[in-house]
Amino acid sequence: MFNKILIANRGEIAVRIIKACKELGIKSAAIYSDIDITAMHTKLADESYHIGSSVVSDSYLNKSKIIELAKSISADAIHPGYGFFAENASFIEEVEKAGITFIGPSSRSVKMIGSKTAARALMKKNNVPIVPGGTEPIVNIKEGLEYAKEIGFPILLKASAGGGGKGMRKVSSAEEFEAAFESTKREALKAFANDDIYIEKFIEKPKHIEVQIISDKFGNFRHIFERECSIQRRHQKIIEEAPSSFVDEAAREKLVTSAINAAKACDYYNAGTIEFLMDQNKNFYFLEMNTRIQVEHPVTELISGIDLVREQISIAAGNEISFLQEDISIKGFALECRIYAEDSANNFLPSTGKILRYKEPNGPGVRVDSGFSENSEISIFYDPMIAKLICWDRDRNKAISRMKRALNEYQISGVITNQDFLKYIINNKQFIDGHYDINFIDSMNLNGVDFSESMSIEIENAAALITALSKNKSSNISNKTDKAIQSKWWTQNYE
């Protein structure tokens, strides 16, 4: 097993990895930027090292600094978490060349699956169903329009190097195609430094179903069932559940078989996720493969009893998977809500500032994965997710009831959160009945919905409010300068 692991990330996932290291008796080394000097992950790790300014390119995305630091502190391995360098093949390659173990797949596997067009071609070759469409980038508008007419509108234009919902546009008619083609190319180039785009058939009212897989360097492959991630806003997941109430045993068997085939196709090892779109007739199609631990991994852990991060570390250290497929079964139901510092009533604009009060819910079947506490700073530099609230119970209805209770108990003040928006969703009859797809939030009429409770800053008295605001002028969007900064941040990171 490793002696020391450098964690090349921040926030709740860094905290999650640190806790796994402590349980395994491995020293953890954290990195932090200027603004994260007092962050939870910085304080919890056995060792913490300043990596650069708050600007992400100078710190958490500074490849050479991270690798040189790992070498200088004699770290055996680097765990990337998710985001940042987690799926960056060139970073993994440099880690491998430095003689350090990357806790994740090989750079070769990531390269094989990194391009969405190449991944589609690979999946098709290995009997994994793909959405009807191309496996090569479209060269020009004329060629693209002819192909779009061939498979039939509506279609999706998608960036080959895309992810996170960026570089994706629905096109409903031939008249819309030229403008959509050009704008998607521009967005792809800006976001991914690669303007290759391809065409897929648009699947009406699909569900987003993904399968957790794990494999080792000895050729052993396991699936850990499926998750449903159809509650999305701007293609970003905000509520996840496991298992899916829509997937029956027959569909599950086909799904997990295809997921294992996908992992085998790219000689994969470590934890990974195969994402599918499933239509109303339970036909499913490969969407993409995420070559890392997922944000939503806790729901899988709670229904299976498998510690995925511990398994990741063990496999990277050269061990076999610790369980057989027949050892695990689905136990109960788990639901995850992502708690964001954002204003649900104001186009979900991120909210920055200092958290003045923070109290997590607890009790049986309640788990909170967070990297924040009282006096933590939510800055403009990073993703505004505060925590993940996960609830487990024996069945879906009981888990939803537990989530309602936990959301009501969660106390966060000083920044605006999306808690009321999450409450609004889980109280919706369509959600409760499981009758929803990835268009669920877009189809909701949110005009006039009151999210005022989540916007209120609850502190003990007016004097405390005045003191807090005088010390922290950015604790809310209170002036034109703050609004301009917020708008710029939003445009760069979300739109």
Give mean pLDDT, residues 205-227.
97
Verify that 192 and 261 share a domain, yes or no. Answer: no
- 386 burial class (0-12, 13-18, 19+ CB within 10 angstroms)? buried
Residues 80-105 as b or e (16 or more Cβ within 10 Å = b): bbbbbbbbbbebbbbbeeeebbbbbb
- pLDDT recorded at residue 366: 98
Regarding whether 43 and 153 lie in a shared domain, the answer is no
Domain CATH for 176:
3.30.1490.20
pLDDT-derived band at 451, boundaries 50, 70, 90: low
Question: Same domain for 35 and 136?
Answer: no
Using the structure block, give the residue that is written with the tokens 């027949």: 326
Catalytic positions are 292
CA 462 to chain CA mean position, Å: 38
Q: Are residues 179 and 212 in the same domain?
A: no
Tell how strand 284-290 and strand 270-278 pair up: antiparallel
- Kindly give, in sequence order, each residue whose CB lies less than 8 Å from that of residue 247, ignoring residues fewer than 6 positions away: 209, 226, 228, 255, 278, 282
Q: Residue 487 pLDDT > 80, yes or no?
A: no
In a domain, 491, yes or no: no
Same domain, 190 and 217: no
Question: Do 388 and 246 share a structural domain?
Answer: yes
* Nearest partner of 86 among 14, 178, 182, judged by Cα: 14
Same domain, 192 and 327: no
Residue whose C-alpha is closest to residue 300's, from 412, 392, 171 = 392
Cα–Cα distances in Å, from 348 out to 338, 400, 408, 480?
13, 24, 20, 18
Indicate which CATH number applies to the domain containing 41: 3.40.50.20
- Say if residues 121 and 198 touch (Cβ distance below 8 Å): no
Res 460 pLDDT > 70: no
Whether 310 is covered by a domain: the verdict is: yes
Q: Average of pLDDT values for 206-216?
A: 98
Express as a percent the part of the chain with pLDDT over 70.
90
Q: Is 186 in the same domain as 220?
A: no
Which of 103, 119, 149 corresponds to the end of one domain? 103
Alpha-carbon distance of 339 to 355, in angstroms, equals 13
- pLDDT computed for residue 423 by the predictor: 97
**pLDDT, average across residues 128-134:** 91
Q: 340 and 225, same structural domain? A: yes
Host domain of residue 215: 207-455
C-alpha distance from residue 190 to each of 35, 110, 151, 200, 292 (Å): 27, 22, 28, 21, 24
Instruction: Report the number of distinct structural domains present in the chain.
Output: 3
* pLDDT tens track for 414-425: 999 999 999 999
Predicted pLDDT of residue 288: 92
Residues 444-458, mean pLDDT to the nearest whole number: 57
What is the pLDDT at residue 383? 92
3-state secondary structure of 195: coil
Residues 274, 320 share a domain = yes
**Contact predicate 368/387, CB 8 Å:** yes
Give the C-alpha separation, 430 to 91, whole Å: 43
Instruction: Measure the CA–CA gap between 478 and 485, rounded to whole angstroms.
Output: 12
Q: Which pLDDT does position 260 carry in this prediction?
A: 98
Kindly state the average pLDDT of the residues 171-198: 94
pLDDT score of 261? 97
In a domain, 113, yes or no: no
Q: Which residue has the higher pLDDT, 460 or 245?
A: 245
Least confident of 140-149, 293-302, 305-314, 450-459: 450-459
Q: How far apart are CA 236 and CA 490, in angstroms?
A: 14
Residues contacting residue 251 through CB under 8 Å, at least 6 positions apart: 278, 282, 284
The length of the chain is 495
Given a cut of 60, whether residue 70 has pLDDT beyond it is yes
- Rounded to whole angstroms, the Cα distance separating 255 from 261 reads 10
Out of 169, 201, 233, pick the residue that ends a domain. 201
Considering the domain boundaries, does residue 121 fall inside one?
Answer: no
- pLDDT for 228 beyond 80: yes
**CA within 13 Å, CB half, 102:** 30
Does residue 260 sit within a domain?
yes
Average pLDDT of span 152-170:
87
Residues 266 and 192 in one domain: no
Say yes or no to pLDDT of 465 above 70: no
Q: Quick check: is 193 in a domain?
A: yes
- Examine the domain organization and report whether 253 and 318 are in the same domain: yes
What token pair was written down for 333? 């139901």
Q: Tell me: pLDDT of 313 over 80.
A: yes
Give the tokens for residue 134. Answer: 């191309």
Does residue 229 register a pLDDT over 90?
A: yes
Arithmetic mean of pLDDT, 173-201: 93
* 3-class SS of residue 335: strand
CATH of the domain at 253: 3.30.470.20
Q: Is residue 493 part of a domain?
A: no
Where among 175, 201, 227 does a domain terminate? 201
Mean pLDDT of 242-256: 98
Residue 112: inside a domain:
no
Q: What is the 8-class DSSP label of residue 245?
A: S
Q: Does the N-terminal peptide bond of residue 350 adopt cis geometry, omega within 30 degrees of 0? A: no
Q: Which amino acid is at 175?
A: E
